Amino acid sequence: MSTNGNKKIELPVSIVVRDLAQKIEKSPIDLIKKLMTNGVMATINQSVDFDTAAIVVAEYGFEATPEVVEEIKTETGEVPLWRRMIAGEDSSQLKLRPPVVTILGHVDHGKTSLLDAIRQTDVASGEAGGITQHIGAYQVEKKGRPITFLDTPGHAAFTQMRARGAQGADIVVLVVAADDGVMPQTREAIAHAKAARVPIMVALNKIDKANANPDRVKQQLAEQELVPDDWGGNTMVIPVSAKQKQGIDDLLEGILLVADNTEIKANPNGKVIGTVIEAEVDKTKGVIATLLIQNGTLEMGDVVVAGIAHGKLRALSDYKGKPVKKAGPSTPVSVMGLSDVPSAGDLFEVVDSDKEARVIVAERVEAAKAQAQSKKKVSLEDLFANVQAGEAKELNLIVKADVQGSLDPVISELNKLGEGEIGIKVIYAETGNIGENDVMLASSSKAIMIGFNVQAEVSARRLADKEGVDIRLYEIIYRMTEDIEKALKGMLEPEVKEKVIGRAQVLQVFTASKFGRVAGCRVTDGELRRNAKVKLYRGTDLVYEGDMGSLRHEKDDVKEVKQGYECGVGFKGFSDIQSGDQLICYVLEKS
Ligand code: GDP
């Protein structure tokens, strides 16, 4: 034992044996032996809890204290506002609050069924029929402790919240069907939860099915770095059947355990802030919004600003529709009295007066305008600047490829590039075209989208423009690695960007002796230019991309055709045109 007293060491709630050995600079074998003499059998890859770790490190002369949990940050590197507020509270005023849980998972794996099954366990309400109200969130009690569930299945709401920096949930329950296993949206949900640094536990659903295969699912989860606890990992995997209402109690108990391992606190007497869960206009009642209080206590008559909506709260009711006068941290309430419909994910706060509310709203409207004009895009070009400014140490990427066979080499090449000073983190990788969900994930994670031998859907491109997401499509691996390598070194040439200058709709197709098949179009937007490039879409499929072969207005060859006019467009070496196709005309610009 050290003569200078014990050496201090901070330890997390659980730690893998290998990491613990490294932390105290001892050999893992030695540590495993020490654990054994204390009656704990653990392999190098298994985790031990804080108490166990504290006992063994004491034998090496260390005094363990619980690690101060680093503030949870959004991927923008910002701590969500409400967490910052709580961090600013006098710690002696912080009280435990109910955990807020969101359920994510692949479509049809049973999110809605599970939320229904949990809702029906609500014996605490003591009312026949339980909860009939649907306000986007509800609470149940387990062992006398309330748990709040966000009743907005699918990760759209969760992503929206994250994109706005609100981050409503403390725990993610990932539903995986035991007969289907880990699927694309399961991986997407894992990526979301990890990026938001929210603890994940797994509800292994449909365990009643004859073809349920829990071991296979556990294997797949382990491959996603969610090693089940009964396999020595840290992820709680709870078998349930939402349909037969089995395992629901275990799930709720599991949630409480995870909650106990996470500091879930707020100051009920502090500044009132929270997140808008959902909002709508009712013909007779006006705007009705569901608010989740995250700090402080919301009371009837409070003046609230939510996004760019504001108002004095006229009525509050709980998730059962019962009028209440006030609501504390982690409680969802339905409120009336707001001037406008706020967006899901908007933060709300209580202010002193209506006048103050108006000033804040006016400022926000101005700020939103300014932001829309200069939406900060994480592009490869910006990356080096950010690195130099010390803002980025890691490049987040989302990768979509045509087939698994190309996804694997793409990821391994990218990982190789990330071995230098700036790391590369592939947040999510999947096969298939780039869709809106991918762009949303990229936006909320400040990631760059890489497409390999795939297209970006039109809706995804539009969203990417709006959200400022950089989509990069490649067909040759070395082109991709070259680009990223250059970006990492700050040598990337200005990218040549496509600037859309006009759109047209194909109304009919005809054959001209001179030009072959020609699209008879009406220009719906901007203009078509003879020397510009065009893309022809059929639905979301890109059917032609390249130069224009001819552009005619009535009988004349023309250089351009403006919005509202009709024209004939021929394509070089392409004749499979159909009426209803959409034409996009663009020029290439260096940024
Ligand atoms: P969601 O898309 O994830 O919300 O999935 P749903 O809750 O809508 O469930 C999809 C389908 O799976 C429905 O037909 C449910 O009845 C069924 N289902 C959900 N949970 C279970 C379960 O535990 N066992 C069985 N056999 N079917 C289930």
Contact indicator for 318, 324 with CB cutoff of 8 Å: yes
Examine the domain organization and report whether 386 and 484 are in the same domain.
yes
Along the chain (591 residues), what's the average pLDDT of each consecutive run of 10 residues? 64 80 88 84 77 88 71 42 63 88 89 90 51 77 92 57 59 95 87 80 97 96 93 94 96 95 88 88 89 94 93 92 94 94 85 90 76 56 60 80 87 84 83 89 85 89 84 88 78 66 93 84 93 90 88 90 93 89 88 57
Examine the domain organization and report whether 351 and 259 are in the same domain.
no
**pTM score over 0.75:** no
Residue-level pLDDT at 1: 41
Closest residue to atom 25 of ligand 1, CA basis: 206
Examine the domain organization and report whether 574 and 505 are in the same domain.
yes
Residue-level pLDDT at 122: 62
Domain presence at residue 504: yes
Examine the domain organization and report whether 334 and 223 are in the same domain.
no
Domain presence at residue 78: no
Evaluate the CA torsion angle 503, 509, 514, 516 in order and state its sign. positive
Residue-level pLDDT at 390: 57
Q: Cβ neighbours of residue 446 under 8 Å, at least 6 residues apart?
A: 75, 76, 77, 378, 396
How many angstroms from the chain centroid is the CA of residue 160?
Answer: 7
Substitution candidate for ligand 1 out of 113, 118, 185, 251 with most atoms within 8 A of CB: 113
Examine the domain organization and report whether 101 and 211 are in the same domain.
yes
Closest residue to atom 9 of ligand 1, CA basis: 110
Domain presence at residue 91: no
Evaluate the CA torsion angle 65, 66, 67, 69 in order and state its sign. negative
Boundary (domain end) residue, out of 248, 265, 282? 265
Token pair for residue 324? 């209440």
CATH of the domain at 471: 3.40.50.10050
Contact indicator for 550, 537 with CB cutoff of 8 Å: no
Examine the domain organization and report whether 503 and 488 are in the same domain.
no
Residue-level pLDDT at 452: 92
Domain presence at residue 234: yes
Examine the domain organization and report whether 403 and 530 are in the same domain.
no
- The structural domain count of the chain equals 5
**Residue 113 CA, ligand 1 centroid: distance in Å:** 6
Cα-based distances in Å from 107 to 73, 153, 458:
28, 10, 23
Examine the domain organization and report whether 114 and 248 are in the same domain.
yes
Boundary (domain end) residue, out of 353, 372, 391? 372
CATH of the domain at 367: 2.40.30.10
What strand order describes the sheet that includes 471-474?
A: 423-431, 394-401, 448-452, 471-474
DSSP 8-state symbol, 159: H
Domain presence at residue 85: no
Specify the ligand 1 atom closest to the Cα of 113.
7
Which range of residues forms the domain containing residue 386? 380-493
Residue-level pLDDT at 395: 81
Examine the domain organization and report whether 252 and 350 are in the same domain.
no
Domain presence at residue 44: yes
- Binding-site residues, ligand 1, Cβ < 6 A: 105, 107-113, 153, 205-206, 208-209, 241-243
Residue-level pLDDT at 331: 96
Examine the domain organization and report whether 138 and 277 are in the same domain.
no
Residue-level pLDDT at 3: 42
- Helical pair 28-37 and 50-59, crossing angle rounded to 10 deg: 100
Cα-based distances in Å from 382 to 260, 482, 487, 489, 495:
41, 16, 8, 12, 11
**Residue 177 CA, ligand 1 centroid: distance in Å:** 8
Examine the domain organization and report whether 139 and 258 are in the same domain.
yes
**Residue 244 CA, ligand 1 centroid: distance in Å:** 11
